[in-house]
Amino acid sequence: VNDGSTDKSPDIAQEYAKKDSRIRYFTQENKGGGVARNIGLDNARGEWVLIFDSDDYMRPFAIETLLQRALEANAQIVIAQSEELRDGRISLMDWALRLDLVPNKLSFNYKDLGDNVFGFCVGWAWDKLYKRDFIESYALRFQNIQVANDLYFTFMGLIMTDSISICDKVLFTHRKHSTSLESSRDGNPALFLESVKKWHKTLKSLDIFSQVERSIMNWTLSFCLWHLHTLSDDRAHYRLFKVLKRAFCDLGLRGYPQAKFYNQKHYKQMCYILRIPLWLHRLNTFRVCDMKGLFRMRVGEKGCVIRLFGITLYNSYENNIRHRK
């Protein structure tokens, strides 16, 4: 699917289509990866689907290996290991597929994963093989947004499938570079929240949310903080920081018990975002919750205290006490 490409990709794709009748070429004005992927799904004829990113590459035997595993395990989704190519260096992405969190079974589903339902793999689609009739049975499609358009598709697939299987081989190489879509989020830094909110809403409507609550709440907080801390533009950072103050409440994270968060540093960062005024956050240029030395900050569930040169600049504990009185 040519999504308004301005280089020679259309010529290359059409040349392959002339050589192999199994290759079908479609073109559209630039509408984004989500729309292009959906056109591919709407026109797919095969029994299996691999949704691959254009700037990555795979082993020559990748599809064969995935298919063999799918048939052996009678699985609807097969996930493989991958590696990352960054600045000419290749490293194993052992965090993208956590083999230590996967049950020792030929195939499994989300009920076998406990609190690791959304933690055992990353919510992207390119390292997974899907059975097409499974995708169609639940009308799984990508969202028409620039960022995180695969989140809903991937995580809903992992929930709805009866059988997931793991291929313990490195089959994909993910190229990481500064011009990739995941590095261009500054224009609309809060856009990813559309995917998160739709995902939460659907799971609640299906009465599944409560079954996976701890996993989804931890994943959501981690994903929000990742977006915040990986923005390259300070203005985008502050815009998202402000949005998250409200989003953490809307998503139910604010009142979620502290003990249920796997990462207590993430919990403290959430408290910091909820409690600290934006103008004081601007002083904290290192974006951490506790800076030792001249500038000190203490953040807790009930408020925060900020001191500079030993002088208290802000004390929301006292403000809360006065308010109650």
Task: Say if residue 139 is exposed, middle or buried (CB neighbours under 10 Å; 0-12, 13-18, 19+).
Answer: exposed
pLDDT in tens, 145-162: 988 999 999 999 999 999
Q: According to the model, what pLDDT value does residue 297 have?
A: 67
Tell which residue, 310, 252, 241, has the closest CA to residue 276: 241
Reported as a single tens digit per residue, the pLDDT across 34-61 is 999 999 999 999 999 999 888 899 999 9
Which pLDDT belongs to residue 205? 97
Domains of the chain by start residue, with CATH: 31-184 (3.90.550.10)
What's the confidence (pLDDT) of residue 324?
A: 42
Counting every residue written for the chain, the total comes to 325
Note the pTM of the prediction, 2 decimals: 0.85
